[in-house]
Structures are given as C-alpha cells and as structure tokens.
Amino acid sequence: MKLAVIGAGYIGLITASCFAEMGNEVICVDFDEKKIDNLDHYRLSVYEPGLEDLIRRNCKGNRLFFSTNLSKAVEDSLICYLTLSPIYREGELSDITYYLAVAQDISRHLNGYKVIVNKSNVPVGTAARLQKTIAQELAVRGVEYEFDVVVDPEFVKQGTAIEDFMKPDRIVIGCDNERVAELMKELYAPFVRTNRPIIIMDLVSAELIKYSANAFLATKISFMNELANICAITGADINLIRLGLGSDSRIGNLFLFPGLGYGGLRFSQGVRELIQTAKTIGYTPRLLEATEAINQNQRRLFIDMISAYFHDDLRGRVFGVWGLSFKPWTDDIREAPALTVINALMEKGARFKAYDPQAQKAAQEFFGVSNTAISYAADMYEAVDDAAALIINTDWTMFRTPDFNRLKSRLRTAVIFDGRNLYNCQKLTQLGFEYFYIGKKQRTA
C-alpha cells in the first residue's frame, strides 16, 4: 500500500520505517526542512536501537522517502497517518490546534477516497473533531470525496519500539464502518501472522485504551512504591514481597520493581491527561490522582534520604550519578526522575558528575552548557571519582553488574543511593558499602 506519515518525530519514524519494512511504499513528511535533510543523510534526532539501520535499509530499497511536500504525499497515498505531538499544558487537556490545522491542510489535497489515521496521543474526542474538520474543508472546496477517520493507538516501548511494532501483542483499530476495518486488517496482516488479535472497536474506545493501558501500568508502579515505603517502616523486605506477588499468575511479574517511579511522556502525561479527561466530564478519578501523587512523592523521599544521610549539609559535595534518561535504551529525559533529584539537590548546593550512555547531550541542554554544578563523564567509573556517594537513577544494564572493588576504590566514601534497587544489600554490606535503596528499613534514633 501507499502510505503517508505526517510528522517525523519518534512515533512517526518508527511507524514509517516499520511499515516500509513490510513492503509498503511510505513517504514521511515533516515541515522542518533541516530535519528532513538530516533524515535524507541518516542523521536522526532521536535514539532508538536499530532505527537508523531500519531507515537506511528501506530508503535504499526505495520503500521509504522523506519530504516536506505535504500535498504530493497526500495525493499519492491511500492512507495518511498523523503522528504529530499535541501541546501539553499542566492541568488542561492537550492543545490540538496545530494537529487540526494540519488535518485541515491535508483536506485541501484530498483527491479521492482517503483514510486519515490518528496515531498521536491526543485527547478523547479528537477523532470526532478530526472528522468535522475534514468534512468542513471539503464542503468549502465544494467536493464530496469520501474519507474515513481511524484511531490506531501505538503501544510501543522506547528501547524496544521496533520489535514491539513488528511483533505486536495486539492491534487496536478504532473506526466506524466495515470497509475501513477490512482495509486496516489488510495493512496489518503481515504483522499478525502468529495470530495476534486485531481488535476492532469504536473511535472513542480506541482513543481511551492507550491512556488506559499506560495508566494501569503506572498504577502498578505506584502500588509497588507504596508497598516499598511501608516496608521501610515495618522492616519487611520489598524484594521478597515482589517475588511473592509476581509468582501469582493473576498479577504477573512485570512492572513490580520499586524505584524512583515512572517518567517519560507516555506514562506521566498519559496519567495526567486521563485525570483531566475525567474531570472535564465531572468525575473525580481518585485512584489516578493517587497514582500520580505517589509517583511525585517517591522522588521527594529519595531526595530526603540523601539529604538526611548528610544531615542536610550538601554544599560543595560532589555526587557521582549513573543514569539521566527516564528509562534505559533511550536518550529521552522528559519527565525523568533524575532531573527532579539532581535539581533538588543542586538547590541545596550539591554538585554532580554524571554518566549516561545516551542521554548526556539532552541533559546538558536541559541543565545548561554553562552550568558548573554538573559535569559529564566519559564512562561510569569516571563519574564516581572522589565522589561523596553514588546516586543511581536509571537501570541501564551496564550498571547492574559493576566491578564493586573498582567502584569502591574510585569513591571518596563507599556510599550508594540506589533508586532502582539493582543490588543485593547483604553482598554490598560485606564489601564495605553503605547501601541505601527503595524500601530499606529506616534508621531509628
């Protein structure tokens, strides 16, 4: 099939390259000429394992193209994917003004039956507004081309997005007639040869399911963090509790690790967007509000743990930092717990030497190139040279099995504050470390 993907951001590039990999002819459009030029030379502004190779292979195979020419992309394609990011505002539903403006522009170039597919994280009800916008523009043009609007929520995880897209657990399609449902089934047939389900539903349900999935997983994370905080007071072992819970087939063992909480736009904004959606219809979503409150509190508790150890005397102390991205296998620092932790301790006078295998450039832009309170190391051990303690924010695999003797020799004092519960407390104590983790029993006076 011939597809247009409008928006060459993270989701747009994943969508375009994966559809091209399955033999479709895909043109990916963005209005940023510099971005398109970079993509034509395989220079990506986002990091995702395998994405550059996938783009390179499909461009050379003449299945994937990049352009700023929206009109030609729409005219030449049967299906147009919208992968634009709305503008998020705290305490409000996302602003989709730009999204609808692009949809209106697409409508000006319809030259026959088209399918307009939303794959952006936009508020519930956007599909109806999209239908209205397109219909109004066609009326202005005085033409009666048929079109369908489809909601195709994405469920990919940063770090494994290509595999998630190519081998999905399920495909969810929101639409309102059998004709377009069959067309979307045909498009996705190569992705579900192992009998993964294609679930057809109405537009509103499909819009809500993406937020629902993210909010449910976020709630599991906050639940485990709440348990960890109870363990810190009672002396129970959160790691053993996790194993006990995870062995129950009704619960499963995913998203049961206590830590600094969730980050990234999908969970953080997704939960808040669902809260705001509920409030706009007059419902108070108490569980979701608690999920978000616990998540924010988890960062404060970790900050307090570090401050308390040093009796709130942090001025001039240098901390080694492992991890800046909100999760491993991405360079994305948006809503990352590391930023909250570093900013709070920085305000108390602390300084940092940080290492992250992918996110250091983004962090430098966030904190400022001229910010002397934080520097960046070439490797994980350089980050802890003469440091007062090590702070772990992200569970990159390289941090899971360090050379503890080497680590201890580089630190000024053998103290670790682990926001991801990576290590065995008994082992580290035997090695001479003071080891603090999420759920560790609190000191008593």
Q: Give the residue numbers of the binding site for substrate.
A: 210, 255-259, 263, 327
Q: Which residues are annotated as a binding site for NAD(+)?
A: 30, 35, 334
* Residues annotated in a binding site: 30, 35, 210, 255-259, 263, 327, 334
Compute the distance between CA of residue 192 and CA of residue 107 in angstroms, rounded to an integer: 31
Q: What are the b/e assignments for 325-363, b being 16+ CB within 10 Å? A: bbbbbbbbbbbbbbbbbbebbbeeebbbbbbbbbbbebb
Q: Which amino acid is at 6?
A: I
Report how far residue 229's alpha carbon sits from residue 369's, in angstroms, rounded to the nearest whole number: 36
DSSP-assigned letter for residue 344: H
The count of C-alpha atoms lying within 13 angstroms of the C-alpha of 106, restricted to the half-sphere facing its C-beta, is: 34
60 Cα distance to chain centroid: 29
As a 3-state breakdown, the chain gives helix, strand, coil percent values, each rounded to 5, of: 45, 15, 40
The residues near 178 (Cβ < 8 Å, ≥ 6 apart) are none
Cα 156 to Cα 1, 39, 169, 207, distances in angstroms: 22, 21, 10, 16
* Rounded alpha-carbon distances, angstroms, from residue 215 to 127, 152, 292, 362, 392: 21, 18, 9, 26, 25
C-alpha angle 132-133-135 in degrees, rounded to nearest 5: 65
Task: Give the whole-angstrom CA distance, residue 162 versus residue 29.
Answer: 20
Nearest CA to 198 among 174, 216, 217, 162?
A: 174
CA distances for 291 relative to 223, 233, 326, 354, 432, angstroms: 8, 20, 17, 29, 36
**CA triplet 185, 190, 194: central angle to 5 degrees?**
100
